[in-house]
Amino acid sequence: MNVGLFGGTFDPIHNGHIALARAARERCELSRIYFVPANIPPHKQRAPVASHFDRYAMVALATREESAFLPSLLEAPTTVATPPPGKKKQSEHGVAGANYTIDTVRRLKQILKKNDRLFLLIGIDAFQEIATWHEAEALFQECEFIVASRPGYSLADVANSLPKSLRPAPAVTKPFARQPAKGDLALKGATIHLLDDVHQPVSATAIREAVLAKRPLRKFVDPAVGEYIKKMALYRRFSSDSTRR
């Protein structure tokens, strides 16, 4: 079985995320995709605005009609206050502190079958920082990547984003500079499937700004997510780092 793992802040989840997941499901015949709201994303400087609970609830609402899309608590904050002596804080759902994607991948693999193939879904903006992620090389060993590309990016941009040890020699990537970031890239130690024409002009930042400006959200989010944001009065207060990267 082919399984997708889609991690994000999802603050809130929006139509761009869902479009990426749908395209990935079709392209790589994914039987299921786990949507994992991050607890504390270690590669982002700012903390999420909405709580993990609210972000998970919105993910559950946005994925409710797709049987292959599963909201996941793999990175939920722990509920255990005092860990047993000598043990890391742990609950049935998650581990305390920062969650690294490699830990989430390993945790998910514990419940998958040996023959299952795991694919990590990611946008090209986030992929460009992948070399800075914790145990980046190990991530490429554990899973294949599905990267949502955007016009203007080349295959060389993708290859040059890889951790140094996996990056092909400049002589190999030179011709990539003229090729758009589409198709499949099978390199020694890394397999990357590129989705072109998926990126939608929407971001969680723009949605939080729209809430502050009292603009309608219907173009950006599932109606149930829009209702939830309204009902729970999310994103109404300006915070210096809530609407800016």
Q: Using CB under 6 A, pick the residue from 3, 5, 8, 99 that binds ligand ATP.
A: 8
Q: Is residue 131 within the footprint of ligand ATP (CB under 6 A)?
A: no
CB 210 within 8 A of CB 38: no
Q: Using CB under 6 A, pick the residue from 5, 17, 140, 156 that binds ligand ATP.
A: 17
Number of Cα atoms under 13 Å in the Cβ half of residue 232: 16
Q: Is residue 24 within the footprint of ligand ATP (CB under 6 A)?
A: no
Closest contact distance (angstroms) between CB of 87 and ligand ATP is 31
Q: What is the DSSP annotation of the chain?
A: -EEEEEEE--TT--HHHHHHHHHHHHHHT-SEEEEEE-SS-TT-SS--SS-HHHHHHHHHHHTTT-TTEEE--TTPPP--SSPPTTS--B-SS-BSS---HHHHHHHHHTTS-TT-EEEEEEEHHHHTTGGGSTTHHHHHHH-EEEEE--TT-BHHHHHHTS-GGGPPPHHHHGGGGGSBS-EEEEETTEEEEEE-S---S--HHHHHHHHHTT---TTTS-HHHHHHHHHTTTT-S--TTTS--
The CA-CA-CA angle for residues 216, 222, 225, to 5°, reads: 80
Tell me, residue by residue from 134 to 173, as one string, x for binding to ligand ATP by CB under 6 A and - for no binding. --------------x-------------------------
Tell me, residue by residue from 200 to 219, as one string, x for binding to ligand ATP by CB under 6 A and - for no binding. x-xxxx--------------
Binding residues for ligand ATP restricted to 111-130, rule: CB under 6 A:
122-123, 125-126
Q: Using CB under 6 A, pick the residue from 4, 5, 16, 23 that binds ligand ATP.
A: 16
Task: Kindly determine how many residues on this chain lie close enough to bind ligand ATP according to the rule CB under 6 A.
Answer: 20
Q: Is residue 72 within the footprint of ligand ATP (CB under 6 A)?
A: no
CB-closest chain residue to ligand ATP:
123
Whose Cβ is closer to ligand ATP: residue 27's or residue 89's? Answer: 27
Q: Is the peptide bond before 175 cis (omega within 30 degrees of 0)?
A: no
Q: Is residue 62 within the footprint of ligand ATP (CB under 6 A)?
A: no
Interface with ligand ATP by CB under 6 A: which range of 6-14, 28-36, 180-188, 221-229? 6-14
Q: Is residue 90 within the footprint of ligand ATP (CB under 6 A)?
A: no
Binding residues for ligand ATP restricted to 180-199, rule: CB under 6 A:
198-199
Chain contacts with ligand ATP (rule: CB under 6 A): 8-11, 16-17, 20, 122-123, 125-126, 148, 198-200, 202-205, 245
